[in-house]
């Protein structure tokens, strides 16, 4: 997912280019300065004072309140609800119910065997074993039933996401106009914090599974759309011309050439949809989705980290298994080994022959089905369908003891370095407070100017315009001050994430062993529901903005580490060889060759760090971060559409602005899962 192969601009051969670049930057700044010189006095004359002028705000609470009342009053009678949303809602319930019944009928052994066999078919023996073990672990943790509920929900949500995302992606892949029109919508869908649209969804559908599935689809469909469009657009020109010259019609070209050529991207899209959907499992529980997320959320109420972890681990296991399986399947498909998912009928077998070859294509799937049914039936006859309660391991208590010990010893009074509470205090007073008061002290027009300058230097005038408009919308919505508060937390968290992430990432790039040790840790950090570490974070850092920053760092770090490692490692080996032959030491190599050459990857890491940190702002609201995150949670808890949606919109605008200011390349390389 990194763009590490882009030519490095920092090398000597490009010196003249750099000079013109500098001259152009100076010209841009000059234009801005002139604009500012004309506009700022005007603005100051009209609306003096530092923060966004009241005259330029719009109060949307009235109309939004009326909209929510209208929905509540008409929900049971208006045809729109009866014949449209009602049917969607019923369809979702029926589908989830059906999948759930199938899973229950298969029994624990049937599900574990079936999942293992499918994994074997798609990804080989090792993953089959991992998958079966993962399911057994879910049972051992006492989470079998919630796991099945979550799985049923996920199956339906992912299918819907793939369907919706695929159709949109098809349209965007074939038509430039649709592609352009969809882009901002997809951006919004991904940046808008899920909490902000839970409330409107709940208003329309009521709490429960339909709302949860729809909220999940909104979040999980965009990657499928993007990747489908990317795959269709990236079809090899030569092949397309050849197909066209054979006289194929448009539809034939699509079905026989474009779609098959895009198999790799399509599968990656499915993979990404699954990961996004799983990350919604816990958030959706806030509106009554049930399953594992609900267990995590309920454990929070009794401040029980152990129980939350016991419900969180199955989510991690599901994520790891599904990710590895679909990724492996995608690689097989993408590399042209046509056997496998979806179209086994054209199984062009390769690899070691014999009877094994027969199992490629549909006979293999038949075998999977037969074996699964056999296992399920056998267990049913033996009367062992349900997970036996005596086979459960209680991890909650030891985990709680460990967390208590850790927080008890680290919180304060550690010799020489001080406790985590002291660090949090210093961080708040020395970093967060000055940054926040600095931002809030700046006159509003100067914030716009800085944003414009940064975005223009790094991109085109369009990027600058988007960024400035995004900031202006925040002002107009009347949440200028709390947005700057959030911005200060995001900036602090991004800096910490980048410092840690670059250090660890460079270390991992230079040592295979470290990377191998890190991989499972990063997996867990990326997929563990954030609600699980809410309590430990507060226990270590107290209530406030410091734990919010800590939670954000934990969440964003893995992506930054991964991108950095990959970027530094895939640096052109010839350049490295050359520098080594010139007698450069390891440190010199790193500073003068690897890092400059990995610059595109590092910039991508910065961008992803920003986007991911912003995604955890809501969680920050749950541990005392205040500002926009708190407003969004408040909106949901109090059924206050205006507060929640406005804060959500402000987060989107912040995201848009930060993205434009940190994204030098034309297109971003997809959102990290």
Residue 505 touching other proteins (CB under 8 A): no
Interaction residues for other proteins, span 394-453 (CB under 8 A):
396-397, 400, 407-408, 411-412, 421, 424-426, 428-429, 433
Give min distance, CB of 652 to other proteins, in A: 20
Output the CA angle 193-198-201, nearest 5 degrees: 135
Please tell me the distance from the alpha carbon of residue 318 to that of residue 148, in angstroms, as a whole number: 11
Nearer to other proteins by Cβ, of 37 and 301: the residue is 301
Interaction residues for other proteins, span 103-162 (CB under 8 A):
104, 149, 152
Stretch that binds other proteins, among 46-54, 467-475, 544-552, 592-600 (CB under 8 A): 544-552
Residue 86 touching other proteins (CB under 8 A): yes
Give min distance, CB of 269 to other proteins, in A: 27
Nearer to other proteins by Cβ, of 109 and 424: the residue is 424
Nearer to other proteins by Cβ, of 206 and 507: the residue is 206
Sign of CA dihedral 571, 574, 577, 581: negative
Nearer to other proteins by Cβ, of 197 and 456: the residue is 197
What's the DSSP call for residue 11?
A: S
Is residue 612 within 8 Å of residue 160, measured between CB atoms?
A: no
Give min distance, CB of 545 to other proteins, in A: 7
Closest CA to 128 of 310, 349, 368, 350: 368
Q: Which helix (H) or strand (E) holds 315?
A: helix 305-334
- Binding-site member from 61, 188, 298, 570 for other proteins (CB under 8 A): 298
Residue 45 touching other proteins (CB under 8 A): no
Give residue 640's region: left, alpha or beta (phi > 0; psi -120 to 50).
Answer: beta
Residue 85 touching other proteins (CB under 8 A): yes
Residue 630 touching other proteins (CB under 8 A): yes
Residue 544 touching other proteins (CB under 8 A): yes
Residue 389 touching other proteins (CB under 8 A): no
Closest CA to 269 of 329, 335, 315: 329
Give min distance, CB of 630 to other proteins, in A: 6
> Tokens 């996004």 appear where?
276
Nearer to other proteins by Cβ, of 203 and 606: the residue is 203
> Tokens 């234009």 appear where?
31
Phi, psi of 415 (to 5 degrees): -60, 145
Give min distance, CB of 92 to other proteins, in A: 8
Nearer to other proteins by Cβ, of 199 and 464: the residue is 199
- Binding-site member from 82, 366, 374, 503 for other proteins (CB under 8 A): 82
Please tell me the distance from the alpha carbon of residue 192 to that of residue 470, in angstroms, as a whole number: 13
Give min distance, CB of 290 to other proteins, in A: 6
Give min distance, CB of 534 to other proteins, in A: 6
Residue 93 touching other proteins (CB under 8 A): yes
- Binding-site member from 110, 166, 290, 655 for other proteins (CB under 8 A): 290
Nearer to other proteins by Cβ, of 148 and 468: the residue is 148
Residue 100 touching other proteins (CB under 8 A): yes
Interaction residues for other proteins, span 154-213 (CB under 8 A):
202-203, 205-210
Is residue 321 within 8 Å of residue 331, measured between CB atoms?
A: no
Stretch that binds other proteins, among 27-35, 320-328, 455-463, 620-628 (CB under 8 A): 620-628
Nearer to other proteins by Cβ, of 330 and 621: the residue is 621
DSSP sequence for 460-490: -HHHHHHHHHHHHHHHHTT-HHHHHHHHHHH
Nearer to other proteins by Cβ, of 203 and 557: the residue is 203
Burial profile 522-536: b = 16 or more Cβ within 10 angstroms, e = fewer: bbbbbbbbbbbbbbb
Residue 286 touching other proteins (CB under 8 A): yes
What's the DSSP call for residue 668?
A: -
Secondary structure of residue 64 in the 3-state scheme: helix
Please tell me the distance from the alpha carbon of residue 598 to that of residue 553, in angstroms, as a whole number: 22
Output the CA angle 62-218-624, nearest 5 degrees: 65
Give residue 644's region: left, alpha or beta (phi > 0; psi -120 to 50).
Answer: alpha
Size of the site for other proteins (CB under 8 A): 80
Residue 647 touching other proteins (CB under 8 A): no
Residue 539 touching other proteins (CB under 8 A): yes
Secondary structure of residue 9 in the 3-state scheme: coil
Residue 294 touching other proteins (CB under 8 A): yes
């Amino acid at each position: 997912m990194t763009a590490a192969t882009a030519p490095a601009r920092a090398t000597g051969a490009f010196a003249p280019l750099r000079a013109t670049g500098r001259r152009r930057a100076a010209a841009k700044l000059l234009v801005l300065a002139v604009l500012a010189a004309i506009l700022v006095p005007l603005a100051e004359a009209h609306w003096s004072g530092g923060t966004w002028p009241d005259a330029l705000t719009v109060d949307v609470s009235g109309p939004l309140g009326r909209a929510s009342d209208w929905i509540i009053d008409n929900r049971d009678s208006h045809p729109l609800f009866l014949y449209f949303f009602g049917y969607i809602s019923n369809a979702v319930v029926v589908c989830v119910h059906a999948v759930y019944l199938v899973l229950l009928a298969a029994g624990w052994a049937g599900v574990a065997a079936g999942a293992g066999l499918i994994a074997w078919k798609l990804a080989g023996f090792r993953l089959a074993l991992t998958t079966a073990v993962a399911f057994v672990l879910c049972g051992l943790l006492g989470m079998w039933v919630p796991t099945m509920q979550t799985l049923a929900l996920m199956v339906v949500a992912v299918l819907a996401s793939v369907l919706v995302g695929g159709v949109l992606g098809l349209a965007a892949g074939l038509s430039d106009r649709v592609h352009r029109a969809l882009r901002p919508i997809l951006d919004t869908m991904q940046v808008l914090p899920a909490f902000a649209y839970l409330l409107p969804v709940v208003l329309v559908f009521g709490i429960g599974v339909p709302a949860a599935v729809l909220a999940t689809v909104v979040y999980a469909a965009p990657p499928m759309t993007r990747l489908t469009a990317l795959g269709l657009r990236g079809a090899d020109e030569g092949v397309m011309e050849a197909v066209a010259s054979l006289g194929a019609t448009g539809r034939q070209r699509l079905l026989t050439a474009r779609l098959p050529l895009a198999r790799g991207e399509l599968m990656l899209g499915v993979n990404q949809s699954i990961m996004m959907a799983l990350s919604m499992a816990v958030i959706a529980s806030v509106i009554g989705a049930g399953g594992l997320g609900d267990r995590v959320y309920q454990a929070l109420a009794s401040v029980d980290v152990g129980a939350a972890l016991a419900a969180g681990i199955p989510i991690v296991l599901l994520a790891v298994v599904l990710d590895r399986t679909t990724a492996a399947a995608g690689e097989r498909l993408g590399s042209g080994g046509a056997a496998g998912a979806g179209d086994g009928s054209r199984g062009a077998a390769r690899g070691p022959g014999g009877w094994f070859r027969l199992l490629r294509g549909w006979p293999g799937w038949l075998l999977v089905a037969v074996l699964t049914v056999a296992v399920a039936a056998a267990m049913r006859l033996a009367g062992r369908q349900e997970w036996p309660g005596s086979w459960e391991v209680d991890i909650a208590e030891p985990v709680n003891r460990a967390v208590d010990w850790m927080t008890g010893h680290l919180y304060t009074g550690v010799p020489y370095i001080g406790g985590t509470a002291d660090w949090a205090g210093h961080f708040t007073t020395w970093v967060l407070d000055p940054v926040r008061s600095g931002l809030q002290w700046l006159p509003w027009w100067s914030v716009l100017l800085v944003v414009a300058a940064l975005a223009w230097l790094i991109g085109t005038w369009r990027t600058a315009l988007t960024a400035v408009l995004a900031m202006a919308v925040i002002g107009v919505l009347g949440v200028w001050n709390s947005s700057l508060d959030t911005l200060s937390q995001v900036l602090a968290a991004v800096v910490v994430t980048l410092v840690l992430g670059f250090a660890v990432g460079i270390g991992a790039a230079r040592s295979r062993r470290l990377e191998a040790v890190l991989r499972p840790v990063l997996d867990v950090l990326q997929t563990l529901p954030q609600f699980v570490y809410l309590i430990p974070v507060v226990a270590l850092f107290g209530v406030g903005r410091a734990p919010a920053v800590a939670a954000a760092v934990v969440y964003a770090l893995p992506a930054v580490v991964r991108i950095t490692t990959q970027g530094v490692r895939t640096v052109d080996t010839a350049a490295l060889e050359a520098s080594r032959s010139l007698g450069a030491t390891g440190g010199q190599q790193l500073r003068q060759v690897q890092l400059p050459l990995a610059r595109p990857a590092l910039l991508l890491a910065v961008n992803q760090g920003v986007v991911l940190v912003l995604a955890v702002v809501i969680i920050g609201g749950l541990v005392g971060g205040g500002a926009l995150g708190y407003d969004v949670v408040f909106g949901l808890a109090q059924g206050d559409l205006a507060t929640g949606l406005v804060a959500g919109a402000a987060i989107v605008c912040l995201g848009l602005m930060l993205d434009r200011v940190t994204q030098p390349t034309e297109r971003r390389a997809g959102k990290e899962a």
